[in-house]
Structure formats: structure tokens, C-alpha cells
């Protein structure tokens, strides 16, 4: 079914929404590039001979292989064109790299090694000239490569948006202002921690990336909304994560530079709006994620940054961050045996935390134990990207656990031995470390839990409980082994282990050592066997956790992929207009005993809700209706066939089922398509207007559309979803994810400057291995696109199918479905009267009630607007039904349908929906 709120305006409705001025610069620069890339494709799309319908559903045919020299010349031309478009970025990065190489050569001749220790400064021995010099120098070759790549990315994104001069000015100004603010912040922290001499002696430098981050954040204000959000979310997340695990005071300067650039960009963008006289557009999706596709990207990126924190700590030159103990493994400093013994005996206090951290980092088992959670969280980040709800829960639980451990290790446990209570914790930095370590993971976990609707793919409960049982057993066995060995061999530790000390140290055997900085050690192992137990229990536990998490995702993917491959093959054997929707993620599959047909369904609130009727071998469909009902009964589910057509509805009703019409599907026969007559005035006007404005249509697939077109389609989808009162709907309404199937056709409208104005997607329907129809699914446009762009696209699709059929009549498609408009076009008198003329008054009464509900919800959903829009194309109307065996389960069925379309609704979205309904 087509998105019910997609077409919120008709041709006759005035459309005066101004364009988002912050996007103008990007569009002006992108259009010229896009016009060169798409002119040939669009001309071909309108002029080339008609293709076979089945062939045109596949990706564009690959061009004939070219010689290696021709490919090299083409690549060289592309690189040359990119360099010409970003002269400052390329020149600056080359100069930066050359300067570093020259300085290193001179330093080597003078007998200095890398990095240059003379340039590092500290708050106690501060030197501003030395600090500013470090902005242009990398520490080593690896750091130079990383800095060159990241600076090139940041500056090449900023230069086209800001212009060369403003990029230089903003970059320099934000660097200087950010450095000043960052140093003031560090001085403030040192003043708060005035009793801690460690702060004054931390030697640090500035990162060369500070030169580009301010320009990048300023440019984000002028970028398109999709990239604006990506720049800011990923940029700030990366800076905070590096700061958290490294603690280099220079990173405070980078963060301050980013904030300075951010504020300047916002002010400059608003000033540009005022000068141009356009309305200041408040981006509704800036921090609030809109479509599930983009939300999963952002959550996965943030989770990956969090997961890679220990790696950042390892490569850090400073180890002053609250989670930086792991980085000490590369430190040339070894623990001081005498001081460590005094610390363990309680006779020394100065430098004890540092000695404890050095000892932990020198244990191989503790280091590996700290890296395994990184692997687990990285794996869960991939699961977030794939929309796995289990990955969201695991990530949230781990982050909440990390926050609770931070409170326990930095506050509760130290208070038991701190002589001065909270004052001592503040002096040693434990209190600050607790705040940082608590807020970041707890905030991310809460954000995940309130956004679970973006992760609809569930794991079989049996797999989950088996994995949880394995983790619980591993934890119990490891705990028993550790406590049992400690109690039976107390003298293998120094000081001798007691039960209370073993219990206090128990959590530390399982958490990464980065979380244990600023915490006391009760004892250390002295024998080989005690060291194996002390270090090994955590390693064993996290190994089990990693294996279980990998199996969770693998089992789900294997089951999903095997079933989906079978469904993909069956849907190409035979189906109805909406059968292709059964191949989308989120569906489960029941296969007939012969394996030649199937039913896609979802179990919600005890209701097995199907996604349309059976598909595959048409000869088995009527039998499948009954067999699937028996399958549901065996699992204690109530079956419900959703969005089935008249033939299947009649068969079920004759068997004693109940049916309600839930929408009217609009079907056009492209073989007889024509736009003559008064009824077609709007369609003819839309086509003629598009021709006058230089708008053309391009028929392709998502992957073959080109990177910039794909980016614009995603941007249109985000823009559309960000302005809706409700979250993006799913189930029989496809999103960007569903466009990626190479069998799905994409028809988009693009203007002469290369700006994509609107896009539609078309789902194929097969019979006996041949495509016999196409169904409209994805239908979205820019908020400022010209009137009639959607009418133009649908009319052009009909013309294309008509021309293809004329060129090859044997393969002509039989229908073009505009999909269904839910709760619109219902006809109780037509659909609830049997052959004898008897009317089912109960069902008719329910349909009348549904019509009232549809009228009430029209402002938020636009049921009737969409229905009336589709009627412009003079289609024949075919009702679709939901069929169910037990009328007592009707309320349960209604909730299941609602949850299928909108799995969860936040309080903000509910309030927005109520406001829309009130208006």
C-alpha cells in the first residue's frame, strides 16, 4: 500500500512553502554536478526504445568492458575534476604533509626522535608558542596519515559550502577561539582539582584536526538536512569519545573549536535567510531521528564510536581520560614494586591509583578481557544497523551496566576507604570520572530504549533464552572458580585474600580495566596459577558472551536469509499486486507442504497477521488459506488475512469467516492508457508543466541511480518523515530500505539542474515467471517541489508501460496498481450483501464506524486525500479486506494492525498527532 500521508497536496492546492535556505548552497553546487551525470541518462530514459518488462525490472545492463588504459584515464579525469572543485582543501593537506616531512627530516639530522618531546607543554609549565606549533605537526607517520585523511574529508566538505575565503577565515578563527576556550576550561578544571598535582603535569599537544573541525561544523549549517545531522552527530560523538578515553587537554580545544564553528554557522545561515528574505527553516529532524533507516545509521555509528573507545585509549599520547587506563599497556613505565607494596599495605597514598592502573595494564589477561567487550559492542553496532531489536536491548543493557559500575567503582566503593570522604574523591578525580562515565552510556542507553521502534527485527525467544542461560552459567562457573580458588589458596595473593576482599574485587574480574582507574586494588596474584585464575575468569566469561552474541545474530540471519530466499523465489513464481511486500524484512513465513507456495505473517498480540494473501503456485492458494489457519491454531494464534482480494475473501466467508473492507486498491490498465477528455485535465497539465520547466523522468533501480541521486532520495525521505506528526509507517508501506531490491523500479523526477524533485517506486508482480504488473509503493517529494510532480511521475510510468507493451505485445503488462488507500472508498452496501441480497448488518455497521474514524483521523493520515488523488487517474477500484474467524478477537486484531504499521509511538509523537487531529 502506498504511504497514506505521502500526497498531502493536490494539483489545485497552492504550494507556497519556501525552500530551506540552508540547503541553497548545496543544491546550487550539486545541481551542476548532477546535471552532467544525469543528462545522458535522462535523455536515454525518454528516448530509448521500450524494453521488455521483465528485463527493465533488473539493474541497468553493464557496459562493455573497457581497456585498462581507458578506465585509468576516466579515473584520472574524475580525480582531476574533484581536485579542481576543492583546490584549497587539496593544497592545504599537501602543504601540511610536506611540512611534517620536512620537519621530521630536519629533526632527524639534528638528532631528535619522534614525537618531538620539546613541543609538548603542560598546565604547570605552559608555553603558548609551543602549543600553537603542534597544530601543524603530527606525532608519527600513522598519525600523519590519519590526520591527512580526516583533514581532507573535513575541508572538502566545508569548502564547497562556505567558499574558499570563508573556509580559511572560519577555520582559523574557530581554531584560535577554540584553543583559548579549551585552555580556559582546562584551567578551570585544574582550579577545581587544585589539590591534584597530576593535572598540572599532564603533557599535551594540540591536534591538527582542530584546524578543520570548526569549518566543518560551520559548513553543516549550510548543508542539506541529512548531511547536517550526520556531520554534527558523528562529529561530536567522535570528539567526546576520544576525549573520554584519552583525556588529552588539547581535545578540549578541539571540542571548543567545533562549538565555535557550529555557533558561527548557525548565525551566518540565519543572516543569509534574512538577506534573501526567506523564512528561517527550523529543521525538525536535526536531533530528532525521523525515518528508521537513518536512525539506525546514526545509532550504529555512535555505538561503534563507543565500542572503539579502548582502541582510542591505546593509541593516545595522554592517559588522563576517565577511561584511559587501557592505554597504559603501551606505556614504557613499569609498576614500582616498593610503592605498589606500600599502597597495598595502606601505608602510602601518593601515586597509588597510577600504580594500580599500571599493574592492571601489565596483565595480558586483563588487556584481552578489555578488548573482548569492544568486539561484542562492535558486533551489536552492526546489529543496530541491520535493525535487530536484540542488538538494541543488548547495547542498552551493557551501557546501563557500565553506568551503574561507574557509580559503584568511583563513588560507593571508594567511600568505604577514603579518609576524607567525598573531598578525597574529588581531589583524586574519581568524582569527575564518575559523572563522565555515567552520563554518556546512560544517555545513549535511554535514547536506544525510547527508539526501539526503529529496530523491528526480532529474534526467536528460544534463541535468546538459550543464550542468556549460557551467559548465566558462564558467569556462575567463573565466579565460583575465582571465589573457590581465593578461599582455598589465600596465601597465593599479596596481601592474603579474605572473603570480603574477594567479593569487593569480584566485579573487577569482569569489567574492562578502563573502568577501574581511580579505584583501589585489594591484593595481587603472586603465583602462576593464581594469576591465571585472577586474569582468566573474565576472559572466559567475555569469550562466552561474544560467542553467544555472534550466534544470536547469526541464527537470526541464517533463518531470515534462508526463508527470504525461498520467499523471493516463490514471489517470482506467482503473486498478486501486493505480494512483493511479503519479501520485506520483519515478515515470517509459513510454507505449504509442497514448498510451492507460502504465506508471510507477523505475530502481534497473539494475532498471526498476514501480509496480503498466499503467493507462489496459484493452484495452492485456496488450500493455503485453510492450512495456514490450522498452523495458527496449533500455535494458539488467531489468524487474520490482511489486504486480501475478493476471491480469497469470498472463499473464507463461505467457510464461516468474517471480512471487513480496509481499503480500495486503484488499478490502471496501461495497455489502454490515454489522457484525452475533461477528466484528464489535471494529468495533462502536470505533464505539460513538467516539460515547460525542463523536468524529466528517469527509470532505473536504486543501486544504478548514482550516489548523488541516492543521497537526494534519502534526503527527500528524511524531509518528508521529519514533517509528519506520526512516525514513519511500515508493514505494507515501504521506505528507503525497500528501494534497494534490484527488482524494484525507481522512477524519479529531476530538473535541468540535477535536483531530484520526487520519487516513486514500483513493485513487480509475476505470473509463471513473467512480470504482469507493477504496483506503486514509495511516493515522496520535496516540500518545495512544483505542483503536479507526483501526477507527472505516475502518468509517465503508465506511458512507459504502454509503450513497452506496444513494442512487445506478448510481454505487455496487464495492470499498473496505484496500491490501496486504507480506510477510504469503502462500500458497505456493495461488499456485505450476499448473492441472495441479504446484508450482514453487523459488518456494515462496523464499516460505517471505520468510515467515521477515517474522517476523524484525516488531518494526520490523509486517507481521503490519497484516495481522491489516485482517482485522478481514472482507475478501477478493487476492494481489499481483512478476514478473521472470530469476531470476539476484533479489538485484538485492530491493535495488531496498528502495531504492525506503527510498532511504537513516543509521547511527543502522540501529542503531535493529537494536535494534528484537533486542527
For residue 115, cis peptide bond before it (omega within 30 degrees of 0): yes
- Alpha-carbon distance of 227 to 718, in angstroms, equals 11
Query: What pTM did the predictor assign?
Result: 0.59
Of residues 91 and 9, more confidence is placed in 91
Strand residue runs (E) in 652-795? 658-668, 696-700, 745-750, 756-767, 770-781
Q: Which tens digit of pLDDT belongs to each residue from 348-389?
A: 555 565 555 555 555 555 666 667 877 888 888 888 887 788
Mean pLDDT (the chain) is 75
- For the segment 32-60, the average pLDDT, to the nearest whole number, is 36
What pLDDT is attached to residue 57?
38
Q: Which tens digit of pLDDT belongs to each residue from 255-297?
A: 999 999 999 998 988 888 777 665 544 444 344 445 666 677 7
pLDDT above 70 for 855: no
CA 873 to chain CA mean position, Å? 37
- Alpha-carbon distance of 143 to 206, in angstroms, equals 13
CATH class of 21-60+670-813: alpha beta
Q: Say yes or no: do domains 21-60+670-813 and 572-666+821-868+876-919 share a fold.
A: yes
Whole-number percent of the chain with pLDDT over 70? 66
Domain boundaries, the chain: 21-60+670-813, 76-279, 308-559, 572-666+821-868+876-919
CA 407 to chain CA mean position, Å? 30
Angle formed by the axes of helices 164-192 and 210-220, to 10°?
Answer: 110
- For the segment 616-627, the average pLDDT, to the nearest whole number, is 93
Q: Which tens digit of pLDDT belongs to each residue from 569-591?
A: 999 999 999 999 999 888 889 99
Confidence band, pLDDT 50/70/90 cuts, at residue 105? confident
- Which string of DSSP letters, residue by residue, matches 664-690? EEEEE-GGG----SGGGHHHHHHHHHH
What pLDDT is attached to residue 864?
66
pLDDT above 90 for 596: yes
What pLDDT is attached to residue 200?
54
* Least confident piece of the model among 106-120, 390-404, 585-599: 106-120
- Alpha-carbon distance of 120 to 106, in angstroms, equals 18
Q: Which tens digit of pLDDT belongs to each residue from 119-138?
A: 666 666 667 777 788 888 88
What pLDDT is attached to residue 201?
57
- The CATH code that applies to domain 572-666+821-868+876-919 is 3.40.630
- The CATH code that applies to domain 76-279 is 1.20.1540
CB-count exposure of residue 112 (10 Å: 0-12, 13-18, 19+): middle
Q: Which tens digit of pLDDT belongs to each residue from 468-486?
A: 899 999 999 999 998 988 8
Q: What's the CA angle centered on 846, arms 843 and 848, to 5 degrees?
A: 115
Confidence band, pLDDT 50/70/90 cuts, at residue 9? very low
pLDDT above 90 for 537: no
pLDDT above 50 for 829: yes
Amino acid at each position: 500500500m502506498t504511504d497514506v500521508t505521502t500526497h498531502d497536496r493536490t494539483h489545485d492546492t497552492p504550494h507556497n512553502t519556501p525552500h530551506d535556505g540552508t540547503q541553497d548552497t548545496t543544491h546550487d553546487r550539486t545541481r551542476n554536478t548532477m546535471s552532467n551525470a544525469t543528462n545522458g541518462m535522462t535523455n536515454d530514459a525518454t528516448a530509448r526504445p521500450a524494453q521488455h518488462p521483465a528485463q527493465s525490472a533488473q539493474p541497468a545492463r553493464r557496459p562493455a568492458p573497457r581497456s585498462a588504459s581507458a578506465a585509468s584515464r576516466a579515473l584520472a579525469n574524475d580525480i582531476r575534476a574533484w581536485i579542481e572543485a576543492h583546490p584549497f582543501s587539496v593544497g592545504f593537506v599537501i602543504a601540511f604533509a610536506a611540512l611534517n616531512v620536512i620537519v621530521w627530516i630536519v629533526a632527524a639530522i639534528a638528532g631528535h626522535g619522534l614525537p618531538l618531546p620539546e613541543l609538548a607543554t603542560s598546565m604547570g609549565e605552559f608555553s603558548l608558542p609551543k602549543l600553537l606549533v603542534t597544530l601543524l605537526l603530527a606525532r608519527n607517520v600513522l598519525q600523519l596519515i590519519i590526520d591527512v585523511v580526516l583533514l581532507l574529508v573535513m575541508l572538502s566538505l566545508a569548502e564547497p559550502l562556505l567558499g574558499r575565503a570563508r573556509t580559511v577565515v572560519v577555520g582559523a578563527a574557530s581554531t584560535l577561539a577554540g584553543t583559548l576556550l579549551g585552555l580556559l576550561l582546562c584551567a578551570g578544571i585544574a582550579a577545581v582539582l587544585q589539590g591534584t598535582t597530576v593535572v598540572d603535569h599532564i603533557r599535551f599537544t594540540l591536534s591538527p584536526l582542530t584546524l578543520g573541525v570548526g569549518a566543518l561544523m560551520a559548513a553543516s549549517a549550510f548543508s542539506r538536512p541529512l548531511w547536517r545531522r550526520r556531520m554534527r552527530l558523528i562529529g561530536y560523538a567522535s570528539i567526546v569519545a576520544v576525549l573520554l578515553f584519552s583525556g588529552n587537554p588539547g581535545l578540549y580545544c578541539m571540542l571548543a573549536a567545533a562549538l565555535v564553528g557550529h555557533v558561527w554557522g548557525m548565525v551566518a545561515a540565519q543572516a543569509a535567510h534574512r538577506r534573501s528574505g526567506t523564512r528561517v527553516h527550523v529543521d525538525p529532524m536535526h536531533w530528532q531521528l525521523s525515518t528508521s533507516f537513518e536512525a539506525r545509521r546514526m545509532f550504529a555509528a555512535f555505538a561503534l564510536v563507543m565500542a572503539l573507545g579502548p582502541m582510542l585509549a591505546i593509541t593516545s599520547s595522554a592517559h588522563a581520560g576517565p577511561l584511559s587506563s587501557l592505554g597504559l599497556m603501551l606505556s614504557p613505565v613499569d609498576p614500582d614494586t616498593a610503592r605498589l607494596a606500600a599502597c597495598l599495605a595502606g601505608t602510602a597514598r601518593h601515586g597509588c591509583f597510577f600504580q594500580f592502573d599500571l599493574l592492571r595494564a601489565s596483565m595480558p589477561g586483563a588487556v584481552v578481557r578489555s578488548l573482548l567487550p569492544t568486539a561484542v559492542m562492535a558486533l551489536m553496532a552492526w546489529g543496530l544497523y541491520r535493525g535487530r531489536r536484540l542488538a538494541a536491548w543488548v547495547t542498552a543493557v551493557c551501557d546501563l551496566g557500565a553506568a551503574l559500575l561507574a557509580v559503584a567503582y568511583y563513588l560507593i566503593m571508594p567511600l568505604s576507604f577514603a579518609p576524607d570522604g567525598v573531598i578525597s574523591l574529588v581531589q583524586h578525580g574519581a568524582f569527575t570520572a564518575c559523572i563522565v562515565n555515567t552520563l554518556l552510556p546512560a544517555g545513549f542507553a535511554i535514547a536506544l530504549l525510547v527508539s526501539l521502534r526503529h529496530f523491528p527485527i526480532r529474534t526467536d525467544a528460544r534463541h535468546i533464552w538459550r543464550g542468556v542461560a549460557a551467559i548465566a552459567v558462564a558467569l556462575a562457573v567463573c565466579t565460583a572458580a575465582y571465589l573457590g580458588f581465593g578461599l582455598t589458596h589465600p596465601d597465593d595473593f599479596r596481601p592474603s585474600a579474605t572473603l570480603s576482599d574477594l567479593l569487593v574485587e569480584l566485579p573487577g574480574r569482569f569489567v574492562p580495566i578502563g573502568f577501574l582507574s581511580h579505584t583501589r586494588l585489594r591484593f595481587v596474584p603472586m603465583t602462576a596459577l593464581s594469576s591465571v585464575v585472577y586474569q582468566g575468569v573474565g576472559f572466559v566469561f567475555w569469550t562466552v558472551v561474544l560467542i553467544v552474541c555472534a550466534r544470536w545474530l547469526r541464527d537470526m540471519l541464517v533463518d531470515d536469509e534462508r526463508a527470504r530466499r525461498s520467499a523471493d523465489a516463490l514471489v517470482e513464481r506467482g503473486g498478486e499486486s501486493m505480494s512483493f511486500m511479503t519479501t520485506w524484512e520483519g515478515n515470517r513465513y509459513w510454507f505449504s507442504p509442497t514448498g510451492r507456495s507460502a504465506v508471510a505473517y507477523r505475530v502481534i498480540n497473539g494475532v498471526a497477521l498476514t501480509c496480503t494473501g498466499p503467493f507462489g503456485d496459484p493452484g495452492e492458494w485456496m488450500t493455503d488459506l485453510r492450512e495456514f489457519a490450522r498452523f495458527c491454531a496449533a500455535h494458539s494464534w488467531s489468524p487474520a488475512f490482511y489486504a486480501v482480494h475478493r476471491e480469497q475473501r469470498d472463499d473464507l466467508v463461505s467457510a464461516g469467516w468474517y471480512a471487513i473492507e480496509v481499503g480500495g486498491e486503484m488499478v490502471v490498465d496501461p495497455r489502454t492508457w490515454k489522457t484525452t477528455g475533461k477528466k484528464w485535465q489535471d494529468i495533462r497539465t502536470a505533464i505539460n508543466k513538467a516539460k515547460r520547466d525542463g523536468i524529466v523522468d528517469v527509470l532505473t533501480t536504486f543501486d544504478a541511480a548514482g550516489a548523488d541521486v541516492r543521497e537526494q532520495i534519502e534526503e527527500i525521505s528524511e524531509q518528508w518523515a521529519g514533517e509528519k506528526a506520526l512516525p514513519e509507517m511500515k508493514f505494507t508501506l515501504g521506505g528507503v530500505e525497500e528501494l534497494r531490491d534490484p527488482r524494484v523500479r525507481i522512477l524519479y523526477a529531476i530538473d535541468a539542474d540535477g535536483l531530484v524533485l520526487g520519487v516513486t517506486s514500483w513493485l513487480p508482480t509475476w505470473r509463471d515467471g513473467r512480470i504482469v504488473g507493477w504496483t506503486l509503493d514509495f511516493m515522496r517529494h520535496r516540500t518545495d517541489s512544483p505542483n503536479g510532480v507526483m501526477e507527472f511521475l505516475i502518468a509517465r510510468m503508465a506511458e512507459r508501460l504502454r509503450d513497452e507493451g506496444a513494442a512487445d505485445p506478448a510481454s505487455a503488462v496487464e495492470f499498473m496498481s496505484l496500491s490501496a488507500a486504507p480506510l477510504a472508498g469503502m462500500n458497505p452496501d456493495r461488499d456485505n450483501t450476499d448473492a441472495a441480497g441479504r446484508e450482514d448488518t453487523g459488518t456494515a455497521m462496523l464499516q460505517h464506524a471505520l468510515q467515521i474514524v477515517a474522517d476523524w483521523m484525516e488531518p494526520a493520515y490523509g486517507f481521503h486525500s490519497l484516495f481522491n488523488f489516485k482517482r485522478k487517474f481514472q482507475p478501477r477500484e478493487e476492494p481489499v479486506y481483512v478476514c478473521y474467524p472470530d469476531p470476539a478477537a476484533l479489538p485484538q486484531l485492530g491493535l495488531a494492525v496498528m502495531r504492525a504499521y506503527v510498532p511504537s509511538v513516543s509521547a511527543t509523537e502522540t501529542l503531535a498527532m493529537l494536535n494534528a487531529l484537533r486542527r
